[in-house]
Amino acid sequence: MRISKLSVLMTLSCIFITNASLESQKIKVLVLGALNGKPYEGIEVYSLCEDGGSESSARRTKTDANGLAEVPFLCASGVKFKVSTYIEGDKLSECGEMEGQTLQKILEVGIISDPRAAGGIWCPAKVSKKMKPVPGEVILFVKRPTWWQAHVAP
CATH of the domain at 78: 2.60.40.10
Q: State the Cα–Cα distance between residues 85 and 107, nearest whole angstrom.
A: 20
Range of the domain at 138: 25-151
| Mean of pLDDT over the chain | 80
Beta partners for residue 111, in sequence order: 138
Reported confidence tier of residue 58, pLDDT bands at 50, 70, 90:
confident
Cα separations in angstroms, 120 against 14, 20, 36, 154: 45, 37, 17, 11
Q: With respect to residue 2, please indicate whether it lies within any of the assigned structural domains.
A: no
Q: With respect to residue 37, please indicate whether it lies within any of the assigned structural domains.
A: yes
* Pair 145, 90: CB distance under 8 Å: yes
Q: With respect to residue 11, please indicate whether it lies within any of the assigned structural domains.
A: no
pLDDT value at residue 119: 66
pLDDT of residue 146 exceeding 90, the answer is no
pTM over 0.85? The answer is no
